[in-house]
Structure 1
Amino acid sequence: MTSALVAGLLAGYGIAVPVGAVGTYLVTLTSRTSLRTGFCAALGVATADGLYALLAALGGSALAGLLQPVLVPLRWASALVLAALALRGAVVALRQYRGHRLATRTDPPVPSPVRAYLVLLGITLLNPATLIYFTALVLGSRAAHAAAPMEQAAFVLAAFAASASWQLLLAGGGALLGRALTGHRGRLVTALVSSCVITALAVRMLMPPG
């Protein structure tokens, strides 16, 4: 159970920490509306991460028996996928930092808290990298044995809690914290931290058990 909780927390922070377009919009939205609206929007992002973690966890357990013959190649493939995601995140962050390519867009009408939740939920669900990330992580670490329902629940809840805590931090920071995290340097640092976390997860799944 403890292992599932730790894995879920690491997975949640690994996908949530980089401040991209969604994080930038979340901070900006909070600074020009209210803390309530920002918190609802943050929970929309976390809900999407939690749903993807749930789908990946359920799918990973269902496929565990079928994947036994190809356990070792699958573990390597999953680790490579995670490493590729980490590398891509770091490269994109460095490229944007060097080119100073922060997008500037016209702010849309101020949404209500419910609308903010639904909009951020929808935007995050449309990001296929999140599903790929969780699926690769779950299959790579659990293919050797089907996880118990309680462990699945612990993993999903921990991933949701980690994502929610980071998104709520962004929203709670508002304009003051937002300027630090969504600037050129802030986005580079958060992306590199996330890449390090994802890489650590990839290396960990390749280590022999015990």
Structure 2
Amino acid sequence: MSAAALAGLLAGFGIAIPVGAVGALLVALTARAGWRTGAGAALGVATADGVYALVAVAGGSALVPLLTPVTAPMRRVSAAVLVALAVRAAWTAVRAYRGDPRIAPGPGPGPGSGTTTPLRAYLTFLGITILNPMTVIYFAALVLATGPDAPATPATRTAFVLAAFLASATWQLFLAMGGTLLGRTLTGPRGRMATALTSSTLIVVLAVRLVT
């Protein structure tokens, strides 16, 4: 069981540490909406990784041929959602900076705003992350690569999945903490707008790379 847990930890960190568009969006969200909302989003990402790890150990090798044809379309949908969120956050930040009376102080509604609840952030990031079926393919490949040491019993499979979830959650919460520290440097409207525009640009670039 310890070997399965270690394999799960390595797999979880392996899929979580490369910071892509979702990671950048998580940092930007936390910087503007606060730690609780960022933590909710981080756990949403980790939950998706945990679900895909569970799917992988429960028969991911059989699902890979079925998932491969839909991988590209789902990644395009994920990229489109990320771009839409980034554009909305940037537009809201610019309007707030210009003093639009229809926008309360701070970012407007939606992901990355001060009115986003932890539950809404959790569900949003769960949905964004679950749209990337490459995650289950990644976990399935790792499980197959372990050969006879692959998790085979309910206990070892549970250990693998929980370890993968905990590894992903640890890293995503670390990113959220970075967003919290960044948010503390935003002392005025100009800083908030600059951060929103910078993060939105980065998110768009990383989202485009998902489909290229």
Q: In the alignment, is residue 105 of structure 1 matched against residue 110 of structure 2?
A: no
Higher Rg of the two aligned structures:
2
Residues 19 and 144 of structure 1: is their aligned pair in 2 closer, same or farther, counting only changes over 3 Å?
A: closer
Residues 146 and 106 of structure 1: is their aligned pair in 2 closer, same or farther, counting only changes over 3 Å?
A: closer
Residues 145 and 174 of structure 1: is their aligned pair in 2 closer, same or farther, counting only changes over 3 Å?
A: closer
Aligned match of 2:205: none
Distance 1:34 1:145 in 2: 40
Runs of 4+ in 1 over 6 A off after TM superposition: none
Unaligned residue ranges in structure 1 (runs of 5+): 64-103, 188-210
CA contact (8 A) 2:4 2:151 kept: no
Aligned amino acid, residue 129 of structure 2: T
* TM-score, structure 2 as length reference: 0.60
Q: Secondary structure at the match of 2:160?
A: helix
The Cα offsets for residues 114-165 of structure 1, whole Å up to 9 and x where unpaired, read as 1100000000000121111011111222467761111100000000000000
Residues 177 and 133 of structure 1: is their aligned pair in 2 closer, same or farther, counting only changes over 3 Å?
A: farther
CA contact (8 A) 2:16 2:172 kept: yes
**RMSD (Å) for aligned C-alpha atoms:** 2.8
Q: In the alignment, is residue 167 of structure 1 matched against residue 145 of structure 2?
A: no
Distance 1:169 1:177 in 2: 12
1:9 positional shift = 0.4
**Out of 146, 151, 159, which is 1:154 matched to?**
159
Residues 143 and 105 of structure 1: is their aligned pair in 2 closer, same or farther, counting only changes over 3 Å?
A: farther
Q: Secondary structure at the match of 1:18?
A: coil
Aligned match of 2:51: 51
Aligned match of 2:8: 8
CA contact (8 A) 1:35 1:171 kept: yes
Q: Secondary structure at the match of 1:135?
A: helix
The Cα offsets for residues 54-110 of structure 1, whole Å up to 9 and x where unpaired, read as 0101115x97xxxxxxxxxxxxxxxxxxxxxxxxxxxxxxxxxxxxxxxx6341622
Count of residues paired in the alignment: 142
Aligned amino acid, residue 169 of structure 1: F
Unaligned residue ranges in structure 2 (runs of 5+): 63-85, 90-108, 186-197, 203-212
Aligned amino acid, residue 38 of structure 2: G
The Cα offsets for residues 165-210 of structure 1, whole Å up to 9 and x where unpaired, read as 000000012154699xxx9xxx9xxxxxxxxxxxxxxxxxxxxxxx
Residues 176 and 144 of structure 1: is their aligned pair in 2 closer, same or farther, counting only changes over 3 Å?
A: closer
* TM-score, structure 1 as length reference: 0.61
